[in-house]
Every structure is written in C-alpha cells, then in structure tokens.
Chains A and B, each alone.
Chain A
Amino acid sequence: MVGVRGDFMAKSNVKKILKLVAGLCGLSTFFAIIAYGFCPKGTIERNVREEIDATPIFYSAVEKMPSLEKGYQELLKIGDGK
C-alpha cells in the first residue's frame, strides 16, 4: 500500500517538476523574444535607442521628472506671455 502511494507521489512530483521546467522554458522564450528579438519600430525602438525606461508605475520613479516639471512650468509661463 505504502509502495503504491509512494509511487503515485513520485510520479506526481515528476509531473510537477516537468510542468515547472516547461513553464521556465516558456518564460525564457518570451523573455528572449522581448529582450533580444522583436523590437517594433516607433516608441519601443526609440526607447531602446535612447535607453528610456518605460516601467515606472509612479511619477517619483521617473528619473528626469524634476526637469520635465520645470520645463512644463516654463511652457505655461510662455503661454501666459510672461
């Protein structure tokens, strides 16, 4: 009985590990495609060329935000004719 159960557990573990390996292969392929392969023209191509990081989820993580803010205020002043 124990042997049958142990056998079943071992098969189940092998199945899980195979699933993990398959998942890792899929993930690695996806990563390789976007990291080294497909790079559409336009925004992504420019981001790569200019090393623009499009990942920040909040303004405080955008490195050049202070200069963008300053530049925006200057634009408003020009608009106001000051």
Chain B
Amino acid sequence: MYSLHRRSIMRNSPWSDLYKKEDWWAIWFAFVVFAGAVAGIVTKVPKIGKWTVDPTDVFLTVKDGIVTGNIFISLMFLWLGLGLLTLIGIYFMKEKPGKYLLGFTVIFILSIISYALSHQKQVAAWGFGYAFWGLVVGLLISNTTGTPNWMKNGVKTEMYIKTGLVLLGAEILFNKILQLGGPGLFVAWFVTPIVIIFMFIYGVKALKIKSKSLVMVIAAATSVCGVSAAIAAAAASNAKKDELTLAVGMSLIFTVIMMILMPPFIVAVGLDAIIGAAWMGGTIDSTGAVVAAGAMLGADAEKVAAVVKMIQNILIGLVAFFIALYWVAKVERDQDNPKPSFKEIWYRMPKFIVGFLLSSLLFSFVLIPLMGADIVEKQVIGNVTEVVRNWLFCLAFVSIGLESNFKELAGQMVGGKPMILYVVGQSFNLVLTLLAAWLAFGGILWPKVM
C-alpha cells in the first residue's frame, strides 16, 4: 500500500533532513519558484490554450482573437526547468537521476495530453478538468499494459503534490478576507468546520469506515473546495493514493451534477437569487463550476457565488494545518505517550504543511504590502506560481493514475460506504449552508446586498 508520505517516528530530526527528506525539498522547490517570480527572472509560464476542433490549437498563443505565436519553446523550458529543479532533490534523496528524468519526461507529455483534453471548449464547459483526465490517462495505462518500470521512476506523486501545495499557499491571501466583509465569511467559514467534523464522526463512528484518512479526504472535498481540498487533506492525513482517487472522482461527478441541477432548482422554487448564489458557493465543490452555476442566476448572483467560494478556498490552509495537527497528535500518536509534547508534534508534523502556511503568510503579509496586490496577484501568482502549481498537480494526477488499479479502487467502495458518506455529508452541507446563506444574505444578520 502506498501512502502520500511516510512520517518519521524518530524523535531526533537531524539537520540532514533538510536535504534528504521530500517534505523539505517541496519547500525548497517552491521557494525557488517564488524567488524566480519575485525577482523577475521567471515572468511567464506557458498555459495550454483552448481548442474546439483542432487539438494543435492548444500550442498557440492568441491575443484578441489573433494568433501571436506558439508555446513550444516555453514548454521545453518548463520541462527543462521543472526537470532540472526536481532532479537536484532526486540526487540528494539518493534516487536515480537519469532514470527519473526519462520517467518525468513521459509523465510531462501525458500531462500535456491531459491538459489538452480538458481544454476542449465543450469539455471545459462540462467542468472535466486536468485532474479528471490526468487520472483517466494514468489509470488507462496502469490497468491495461501496466505502468512500465522505467516510467515508474518518474512517478513522484508525493513530491509533485507537496511542492504544488507549498505553491498553493501563495494563493491563500488572508488580506482578501478582511476586504470581503462578514456575510461571505459567515457562509463559508461557519458551515465548513461543522460539516467536516460531522462527516468525520459519521464516517468513523456510524458507517465504521476503517480508514480514517479516507473519511477525512472525502469530508474535506465535500465541505471545502473539492479537488484542491482533497489533495491538501490527503497529504495532511497520510492518505493512500486510491483514497484520494476515489474522493476526487466522487467530487468531480457530483460537481457536474450540482452545477447542472442547482440553478434550475433555485429558479423553480423561487429562492432569492443572491441567497441561492451563496448556497451554491458554499456547496458546489469546484470553483469553476460555482462561477458557471452562479452566472445562470444573473450577474450579481455570479459575484456572490464566486466570492463565497473564494473565501472557502482560503480556508484550506487552516483546514490542512489542523488535519495534520490532529493526525500527529491523535490518530498516529505513540500509544505509550497519550499527550505528545510540542517538540514531538513538531518532529512528526509534515514539514511541507509548515511551508504551505509560511508561503501564505509571506504573500499575505510581506509581499503584498511591499510590492502591491496588483503586481503580486497578476505577475507573480497569475503568470508564474499558479501556473507551475497547476502543472505539478497535473503531473501528480497522472502519477496517481499510473499507480492506481481498479481492484484497489473497488476494494475502497465495498458496501458503498464512501458514496453514502459523500451523499449524507453533502445533504447535511446543503441544509446547513442554505440556513447560513439565508441568515447572511437574506437581511437577517447583515443588510441585504441588493
């Protein structure tokens, strides 16, 4: 069985951990990207373009409807940059650099294909993103021909996920919360912790699902923000890869269903569009689907739905931190030592979570005040760190697919318990969020927004 990371139970954390452990390398890799972006050395990272009929359009850069060039060279630089950067870590972690680079190259090409499939215009309208296609492409290979051994050397799921999460920290900007006022904060932050705790207790105690990490990953995906929360929770709770695959798969399917059904339901029952938008913002898992569903109820509803979801997105830093803390202090604690000391918690805490929070604090309270929100959000995050983070997550999902098999996935679904957990948890989430949306946007706790 694989786990997203194996925590050292050693009581002493030697200095050599700084260059031997993947957790620390995730922080170094991410901070090299941050440094490159802030210093202006890396100004733009290639994004895969959209296409309708001709898939090669994904390589074209288009401005105002006119083709201005292509991204072949910049994709080569991205491959080289990511490959060489991670190769340094691979070397110090005493793995095989040459074999890694070959495997990485093929996984990078599979990631381009996954990204391209997700960027077909009608496919993008459905909401099937790179996470879905990455998993499907990887699963297709691993469950038919099997993943070749030479390719397995590039399958570094944990490294891609952890580095992506430290980069994601830069997008969790706490200063935004202060600007966005009480109603959105109430809907997003009042309901989420209650739903996570309810789902965790329900899954472990009532459904008696043996794997606590599976319960936690499904709970985080349902209550926070789908795929990104599932990744963060899986990494923080030491989840197995097939558990993450299962949670992501369910979240993606229900996201599409809810995006299609919720707007007409809100109209049919005559619910106020703003309350309905806040309701969708708090319940539909993926951000893109929330914005799309919100737009169905009008321009103002779209704004409310998007911002409620954005505030919920920002919560994942704290959620991941508390999950990691709960796991090291309670779930994986030493049975002879029921109350671990702060020192022990520090030793066992996954360090990339610390990097995740540090990067969030660095961007929120140092870089934005120093450089200005516009420059940081558009040039540093928008052009560089967010794009690299998406590439790393895409590499991670292809890798997860390459390491998963349908038999293990089917084993997780025995008795349909994960599905019951998702459906019951999401139903509870829907009821509680509707109440919170009515209190916050219905003129009860705050003045009506329109």
B296, A59: Cβ atoms under 8 Å? no
17 A-B pairs, CB-CB below 8 angstroms?
Answer: A19-B144, A19-B145, A20-B145, A23-B143, A23-B144, A47-B292, A54-B259, A55-B118, A57-B287, A58-B168, A58-B287, A61-B288, A68-B291, A72-B180, A73-B179, A73-B181, A76-B180
**Sample of 19 further A-B pairs with CB below 8 A, known A54-B289, A60-B171, A71-B299:** A17-B145, A20-B144, A34-B122, A42-B264, A43-B263, A46-B292, A47-B125, A51-B50, A53-B125, A53-B288, A57-B288, A57-B393, A58-B168, A62-B287, A64-B291, A69-B179, A72-B184, A75-B303, A75-B450
Would A54 and B260 be within 8 Å (CB), given that A34-B128, A72-B304, A75-B304 are in contact?
A: no
For B91-118 the 0/1 string (1 means CB < 8 A from A) is 0000000000000000000000000011
Contacts of B295 in A (CB 8 A): 46, 50, 52
A61, B287: Cβ atoms under 8 Å? yes
Would A43 and B124 be within 8 Å (CB), given that A27-B140, A59-B313, A68-B307 are in contact?
A: no
Residues of A within 8 A of B (CB): 16-17, 19-20, 22-24, 27, 31, 34-36, 39-40, 42-44, 46-48, 50-62, 64-66, 68-69, 71-73, 75-76, 78-81
Min CB gap B44→A, angstroms: 15
Contacts of B168 in A (CB 8 A): 58
**A76–B288 alpha-carbon span in the complex (Å):** 23
B127, A55: Cβ atoms under 8 Å? yes
A58, B228: Cβ atoms under 8 Å? yes
Q: Does more than half of chain B's interface fall in helix, strand or loop, or is it mixed? A: helix
B260, A43: Cβ atoms under 8 Å? yes
Interface membership of B293, Cβ < 8 A: yes
A76, B228: Cβ atoms under 8 Å? no
**A66–B374 alpha-carbon span in the complex (Å):** 10
A59, B125: Cβ atoms under 8 Å? no
Contacts of B302 in A (CB 8 A): 68
By beta carbon, the residue of chain A nearest B447 is A79
**A18–B197 alpha-carbon span in the complex (Å):** 46
Would A69 and B146 be within 8 Å (CB), given that A42-B263, A57-B226, A79-B446 are in contact?
A: no
Interface membership of B325, Cβ < 8 A: no
A54, B307: Cβ atoms under 8 Å? no
Interface membership of B379, Cβ < 8 A: no
**A22–B144 alpha-carbon span in the complex (Å):** 9
Min CB gap A71→B, angstroms: 4
Stretch touching chain A among B129-137, B212-220, B353-361 = B129-137
Contacts of A62 in B (CB 8 A): 287-288, 291, 306
